[in-house]
């Protein structure tokens, strides 16, 4: 749990250190670093840039305290979208989208006061969708509807790559369905201030009839559960130096030894020793998986006395 939260902590520190575009005196800051990038928030012109959204829960009283992070990285013509979420519903499809709006929904946006912020109410805040984070981020409609599913603990990791030129060209293509929630762009794409929403509860999660839905989906699949506003960062979050062996490195577990199957002469190898198939194996026994019959330390020796102390080789 500590490692899963660590990147978020580091990123929050980075975000808190970012300076605004102007001093309190009203004078502009020098156009360097993040400040310069903020003035040029245009993905078409930027060769290398990374965006981040720290995700916090929506509808936490009923959907749990989901948390996580979203990153979008561009390097020349390569882009990668990455989403990590924890404490969501178990085995739930997670619909995830980037919206044009500049804020996340709050309890104040529950306009019918039924205790739930549904997809229609949240949409009044977050606006239209520009990037469905499905199995194909190079197209708004390519694999629309194919979204990740959480594990039994309500967590998932999502990562998709694409060509930036293909992704960007699709954003300006003809809008074949102007009536739906997805829109095409009419101006250069910048991501600072836009919102990322994750939707979806466990299958057949019971909700009152007052909870609205869209796209002909059941309400439990479209209930907002997490949201974040996109900011700019200088590095890809959650990465570590190559020589860092204390954080971010988990050694591979040893291969289990099965009783009676990892003994000498079977031609197999284990994670903590090797055997050659010629009747010998490396002397590195695993106490958790002993052989069927323990070896006799006096086997092959002639011993005198009852203690077995005086022995000689045959």
Query: Domain holding 227: CATH number?
Result: 2.60.40.200
- The pairing of strands 78-86 and 310-313 is unpaired
Query: pLDDT tens digits, residue range 1-24?
Result: 444 444 443 444 344 344 333 233
Give 41 or 172, the one with higher predicted confidence.
Answer: 172
Domain membership flag for residue 58: yes
Instruction: Please state the pTM of the whole predicted model.
Output: 0.66
Query: pLDDT tens digits, residue range 76-116?
Result: 999 999 999 999 999 999 999 999 999 999 999 999 999 99
Give residue 26's pLDDT band: very low, low, confident or very high (50, 70, 90): very low
- The pairing of strands 310-313 and 224-229 is unpaired
In the chain, pLDDT over 90 holds for what percent of residues?
56
Which pLDDT score, from 0 to 100, does residue 195 have? 98
**Which residues make beta-bridge pairs with 184?**
none
How many domains in the chain?
1
Which pLDDT score, from 0 to 100, does residue 257 have? 41
Rounded distance between C-alpha atoms, residue 92 and residue 259, angstroms: 39
Query: What 8-state DSSP symbol labels residue 296?
Result: P
Domain membership flag for residue 104: yes
Q: Considering only CA atoms, which of 116, 27, 16, 22 is closest in space to residue 63?
A: 116
Q: Which spans in the chain are helix H? A: 2-17, 33-39, 60-63, 119-126, 164-171, 219-222
Domain membership flag for residue 257: no
DSSP string, 99-148: ES-SS---GGG-TT-SS---HHHHHHHH--EEEE-SS-TT-SSTTTT---
Which pLDDT score, from 0 to 100, does residue 8 have? 44
Q: Considering only CA atoms, which of 263, 141, 127 is closest in space to residue 195?
A: 127
Which pLDDT score, from 0 to 100, does residue 17 have? 41
Domain membership flag for residue 202: yes
Q: Does the pLDDT at position 313 exceed 70?
A: no
Which pLDDT score, from 0 to 100, does residue 236 have? 60
Which pLDDT score, from 0 to 100, does residue 193 have? 95
Query: What 8-state DSSP symbol labels residue 25?
Result: T
Domain membership flag for residue 180: yes
Which pLDDT score, from 0 to 100, does residue 64 have? 87
Domain membership flag for residue 98: yes
Domain membership flag for residue 1: no
Give residue 238's pLDDT band: very low, low, confident or very high (50, 70, 90): low
CB 92 within 8 Å of CB 200: yes
CB 226 within 8 Å of CB 197: yes
- The mean predicted confidence, pLDDT, of the chain is 75
For residue 128, what are the domain limits? 46-233
Q: Does the pLDDT at position 282 exceed 60?
A: no
Domain membership flag for residue 314: no
């Amino acid at each position: 749990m500590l490692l899963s939260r660590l990147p978020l902590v580091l990123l929050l520190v980075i975000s808190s250190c970012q300076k605004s575009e102007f001093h309190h005196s009203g004078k502009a800051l020098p156009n360097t670093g993040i400040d310069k990038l903020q003035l040029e928030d245009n993905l078409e012109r930027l060769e290398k840039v990374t965006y981040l959204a720290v995700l916090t829960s929506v509808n936490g009283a009923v959907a749990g305290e989901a948390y996580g992070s979203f990153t979008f990285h561009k390097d020349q013509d390569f882009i990668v979208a990455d989403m990590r979420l924890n404490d969501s519903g178990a085995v739930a499809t997670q619909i995830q989208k980037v919206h044009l709006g500049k804020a996340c929904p709050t309890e104040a946006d529950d306009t019918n006061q039924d205790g739930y912020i549904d997809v229609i109410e949240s949409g009044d805040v977050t606006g239209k969708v520009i990037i469905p984070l499905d199995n194909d981020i190079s197209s708004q409609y390519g694999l629309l509807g194919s979204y990740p599913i959480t594990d039994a603990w309500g967590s998932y990791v999502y990562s998709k790559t694409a060509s930036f030129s293909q992704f960007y060209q699709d954003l300006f293509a003809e809008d074949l369905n102007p009536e739906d929630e997805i829109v095409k762009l009419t101006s250069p794409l910048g991501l600072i201030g836009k919102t990322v929403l994750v939707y979806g509860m466990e299958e057949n999660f019971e909700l009152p009839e007052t909870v609205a839905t869209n796209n002909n989906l059941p309400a439990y699949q479209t209930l907002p559960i997490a949201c974040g506003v996109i900011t700019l960062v200088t590095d890809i979050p959650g990465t570590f130096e190559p020589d860092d062996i204390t954080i971010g490195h988990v050694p591979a577990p040893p291969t289990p030894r099965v009783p009676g199957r990892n003994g000498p002469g079977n031609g197999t190898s284990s994670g903590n020793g090797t055997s050659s198939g010629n009747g010998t194996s490396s002397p590195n026994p695993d106490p958790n998986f002993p052989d069927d019959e323990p070896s006799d330390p006096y086997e092959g020796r002639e011993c005198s006395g009852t203690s077995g102390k005086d022995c000689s080789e045959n």
